Amino acid sequence: MKDHLEKVNGKVAEHERRLGEMLVEVAERRNSCPLVESVQKTLIDHILACPMKGRMDVVEDFVVAAKASENTSKTWSDHLWPIALWFVGVLLAVIAILVLAHAPIFQGLFKP
């Protein structure tokens, strides 16, 4: 079993080595091709001259600003919610104490 695993692991390692060499060779071929530079320049010029690019830049700026504003607002709201809930709890407690303290007055108001 051990011999089989060593044999398989050796084949996998050899395959990975050959695959890495092929990827390096493909990258070298791509960089040495004279058409790559021309195509990239043409593509970049096409993208920059596209009439939709200006519109998409505006949309992208809006989305980035909206996300930044949302993150800022969310941060502040996360900090303020505990304080606001504490105030609401205190207010409800004070109202409950006042109602209980003045219960006889309220009972007199509602008697026919």
C-beta of residue 72 within 8 angstroms of C-beta of residue 65: no
pLDDT per residue over 45-66, tens digit each? 887 888 888 888 888 899 998 8
Residue 24 — very low, low, confident or very high, per pLDDT cuts 50/70/90? confident
Q: What is the mean pLDDT of the chain?
A: 82
In this structure, are 68 and 101 located in the same domain? yes
In this structure, are 35 and 14 located in the same domain? yes
| Number of domains into which the chain is organized | 2
Domain that holds residue 40: 1-49
In this structure, are 62 and 28 located in the same domain? no
In this structure, are 43 and 89 located in the same domain? no
Helix (H) or strand (E) holding 13: helix 2-32
C-beta of residue 36 within 8 angstroms of C-beta of residue 30: yes
In this structure, are 75 and 34 located in the same domain? no
Residue 43 has what DSSP assignment? H
